[in-house]
Structure formats: structure tokens, C-alpha cells
Amino acid sequence: MQPLIECIPNFSSVAPDILEALCERIQTFPVRLLGVDSGASANRTVITFCGPADAVFLAAGEALAVAIEWIKIRPDQGVHPYIGACDVMPFVALEPGHRNELAARVQDWAQEQAARFDLPIHLYEHNARNAERANLAFHRQGGLQALATRLASADGSPDFGPTLPHPTAGAMVTGLRNLLVAFNINLTTSDAAIARAIAARIREKSPNGLPGLKAIGWTIREFQCAQVSTNIYQPEKLAIHQVFERVKLESQNFGCATNGCELVGLLPFQHWHQASQFYAAAHAEPQHFRHVDYQPVVHAMGLDRVKPFMPQHHILEWAAGLDEKLRLEDLANPDFFPI
């Protein structure tokens, strides 16, 4: 059987007609559409789908085709840094033991798409040519405004495709990466400087930062508040409730509080299980993990304050149907994470 993989493209648009076209094209292949998360202030939509490798790579290529046809990027769109219509197209192996095989396939896929669309493509994470280029932030330096200069430089040259930006689609970053949890925490202030200060304190690179965490701060127009936006890129080291509790503590130092959370994409079951243990008195045995009480977690973190939160749609193993393929003891094992 083909290995199962997940694809999480980030598109620089929130237009309903474009999102509908993207989802329709993706679903012409035998893949499972897991989620569509949009943010107007960021001008960004994250679409998550998974399935057998062949189908996922085909769907990813066609989603890229729709993005290039429909999305015309400008430098002044959105608070989130980006360099392309399809800014980043990550792939994640959902079963252990397939990293090398799938990394090679991602590289072949990227080369094909660069030639197909005359699009500059950068490789990152497991496909990066060196440690510096493994970091997504490296490729986004200067944003769209600096893209032409960076593509023409030795450091910023693409791995595939031309050294000039695509006239309407910019460039794209892709690669096989580890599981990542994208998690945003709203504050009871609209001061972006406070969100940036909290982000600076909690990110891994700070002296007392959290391991495996990237963070930035900004103001989100549609929520009318400042937000600390985080990526837990080593979820085996850091759980979602630990990030939330740290932001809650730091916010008190600035005279504000947390005001709901936003999960972008999917959450691994182990994080959910750990949060349930942390926030609820009752402990569910691993073999009964479906019955882990979710209300204390939702209430404590405000996970449904920004948008509806449904565990069956937001927990990776349940949404992707992995609990039908993997053993329950694997899912309940704290050392198990897709790689």
C-alpha cells in the first residue's frame, strides 16, 4: 500500500470563489479534505487534505494550478509574511518509516511544478540543501517586496525554476516536514506591541523560551484584538496547553489576559489527551481515548470562542481516519508522533 501523507498548502487569498475552486479541484482526486481555515487580516487560507501519496501529489499540483490561475498577489495584502499565491506547500508523512522515500518524491514533484508553471520553488525542512534554508522564515525574508532581489542572489536563489518571480504568483516554498501545530491565542488588548513582546518572550530562541516553538505577534482586524500566533514545530517536546498557559502567564505581566484561541489545521491526539489530563480531574484510559472529556479543555482555553471547535474534525487521527489504520496503543503512546 502507498504511504499516507498530509498536504497543508497556504494560499494568499480568502476569496470565497477561489477557495471553492481550490476545494473542488482537490476533491477530484481520492483524498480526504480535512479542513479549510481562513484569516481575513492575514489574507491567508490553509487547506488540509490527506490520502495515498500518488493522489495527494496529483491534488497538490492541481491546487497549485488553480492558485496560479486565480490569485494575483500584491505586496500590501495581509499581515502574515508571504512570497507567493501558494506561499508554502508542506507535506507530512502520516506513518513512520517513509521519510526518505517521501522526501525524494517531494523533490521530484517540486521540480516538475517549477517547470510546468515557470515558478521559482524553494525547498525547506527535510528537503533543504542546508540548515539555513530549512527554515521557512529564511525564504520569506523581506516578503514579496524583496522577492526579486533575493531570487537573483546566491543565498536566495530558488532550488528549481527561474530566478525571477512569477508575474502574478511570486514564488513558493515546499518540502517534507514534521508534524506542526499552528495555534493562535487572542489577547484582551488591541496593542500589537504587547503581542510581539509576548511572542519574543516565549519563542524558542529567547533565554526562557519554550522548546520547539516559533511565535510572532500582530493585530487581527476581524477579532478586534492583538494575537500571539505560534507554530509548535516539535510537538513531541511541547504540548498545546503548555503554550496557552505560558501566554496566559505572560499576558498578566502586560495588564491583559487571553481571550480565546484559534487552532489552524489539525491537532494530534496526544496533545488533546495531555490537555484533557491537565484540565480535567477525570482520566481516560488509553483504550477508551474516544471518550476523553473535551469540554474542560475547550472551556479552559477558549477554543470555541473564535470559531466552532469539534474534536472529530480538529483532531488529526480522527479526521484523517488514522485510528482505523494504526493500532490504538500507537495513538496512546506518548512517544508516537507522525514523522
Indicate the residue among 153, 176, 199 that finishes a domain.
Answer: 176
For the cut 90, the answer to whether the pLDDT of residue 291 exceeds it is: no
| 290 has pLDDT over 60 | no
Among 261-270, 277-286, 329-338, the minimum mean pLDDT is found in 329-338
Residue 284, amino acid: A
Q: Of the residues 176, 194, 213, which one is the last residue of a structural domain?
A: 176
Residue 208: domain span:
181-332
CA distance 82 to 100: 28
Give the model's confidence band at 78: pLDDT under 50 very low, under 70 low, under 90 confident, else very high. low
Does residue 338 form part of some domain?
no
Same structural domain for residues 241 and 323?
yes
> Which sign does the torsion angle of CA 74, 76, 78, 82 carry?
positive
Band of pLDDT at residue 176, cut at 50, 70 and 90:
very high
Query: What number of other Cβ atoms are within 10 A of residue 213's Cβ?
Result: 24
Instruction: Say whether both 32 and 169 belong to one domain.
Output: yes
Domain boundary among the residues 142, 176, 210 is at 176
Q: How far apart are CA 173 and CA 196, in angstroms?
A: 25
Q: What angle do CA 65, 68, 74 make, to 5 degrees?
A: 160
Judge whether 116 and 163 are in contact, CB under 8 Å: no
Cα–Cα–Cα angle for 188, 192, 193, nearest 5°?
Answer: 110
